[in-house]
Amino acid sequence: MKLTRLDKLRLRLVAQDACLAWAFENIKGRSGIVFELGLGHGRTYDHIRTHLPDREIYVFDREVDCYEDCIPPTDKMILGDMRQTVPEAVRRFAGQVVLLHADTGSYGDKHNTEMQQLLSATLAPALAPEGLLLSDLKLDVPGTEAVPLPPGATEGRYFIYRRQR
């Protein structure tokens, strides 16, 4: 039977959870900051801050429109069009990002293609050596290698890339 749209959402969330859990372990003991691209309702930000309470987490979105209890601190919220804010932040924090989570996919294919191009073209210099990039969209980021998904995650439902040393 074909995967329904509900199946795809569920499999994406299950894969995302497994990938994030793997990444939280993987970066243990390594210095670096975190980027969360796409605040949305704030659910993933809530997840990341809960598991990484001691990390600086910078959150990117056009606006703050999330759960009241998931609003990032003002000095960590980078507001604006990601086509501008992401390249700027990549320059500002070059080489410092140990975990970059990009949950920027949406309903529209056009939007998704634009985000794939933007992220693929700009993110690499932000990552620390062996820094991790988790994405709901398939990306093609120079200087990174794809990492097989951890158990519990269905290949193709989420993506992990690691910056080469």
Site for its own copies, rule CB under 8 A: 1-2, 4-7, 9-10, 13-14, 16-17, 41-44, 46-47, 50-51, 67, 70, 107
Strand order in the sheet with 33-37: 77-79, 57-61, 33-37, 97-102, 127-135, 159-163, 144-147
Which is nearer to its own copies, 29 or 53 (by Cβ)? Answer: 53
Minimum CB separation from its own copies for residue 101, in Å?
A: 11
Identify whether the C-beta of residue 34 lies closer than 8 Å to the C-beta of residue 101: yes
Minimum CB separation from its own copies for residue 4, in Å?
A: 4
Dihedral in degrees, nearest 10, Cα atoms 165, 60, 159, 133: 10
Which is nearer to its own copies, 9 or 79 (by Cβ)? Answer: 9
Minimum CB separation from its own copies for residue 7, in Å?
A: 7
Identify whether the C-beta of residue 163 lies closer than 8 Å to the C-beta of residue 26: no
Which is nearer to its own copies, 150 or 163 (by Cβ)? Answer: 150
Minimum CB separation from its own copies for residue 8, in Å?
A: 8
Angle among Cα 118, 157, 130 to the nearest 5 degrees reads 60
